Structure 1
Amino acid sequence: MRRTFSVLAASLVLLSAAGCSAGTKPEAVSGSELEKQVSAALEKQVGQAPDDMSCPDELKAEKGATTECTLTAGSDKLGVTVTTTSVTDAGKVNFNVKVDDQVQ
């Protein structure tokens, strides 16, 4: 599993969307929602979900805002940077996910 996520680390930059209350602009995406969204996006990209995804902080719904998460694959941990790219009028926060290229 380490190899899969390590290979992914150098090339992954993907766009996901986190749903929020319809018709209202959110202030942030919770850490628990990010964990679900980022895990799902990684699973779609590499064909397997990480063993664990931890996002202790929320992601502000402001273009350019960032937060750090930690991906666990076997005994390896990789940092994951999540960056807000836009917030839609419909209340969705779009973000990029970048997996670090070095094991922590």
Structure 2
Amino acid sequence: MDAAEATSLRLTPPDLAPSPAAFRRPDGSSVFRPKHSTVFTSEALLAAEDRLLERACTTTGPTLPVVTVKKITGRSDREGRILGDDQAAALAKVAVSGRIVDVLVGPAGRARRPR
């Protein structure tokens, strides 16, 4: 075990039972567990995640009226592009949520030109 592992918290549970020798790699690990799949974290990272979750539940942040969001998302930019319906909906959810921390998760989209 190296120094990084010694100061980390292991999130991956240990094997419930040892694997028979026929199912162990030369390093002794089980072939039933993918190589290098053990996950570690730290107290500092867990504390940071707790702070983010707390802020994500706090809804005292600034918001915009839905009418304003619709007006902005319905307009094209200087190059004539407009947000897709899914992009506008995602932006509206964030703009009206009031959360201190809000996250959009998804693939990057492309604004489209109106027809």
TM-score above 0.5, yes or no? no
State the TM-score, normalizing by the size of structure 1: 0.24
Larger relative contact order, structure 1 or 2 (CA cutoff 8 Å, min sep 6): 1
Q: Please identify which structure carries the higher strand content.
A: 1
Q: Please identify which structure carries the higher helix content.
A: 2
State the TM-score, normalizing by the size of structure 2: 0.23
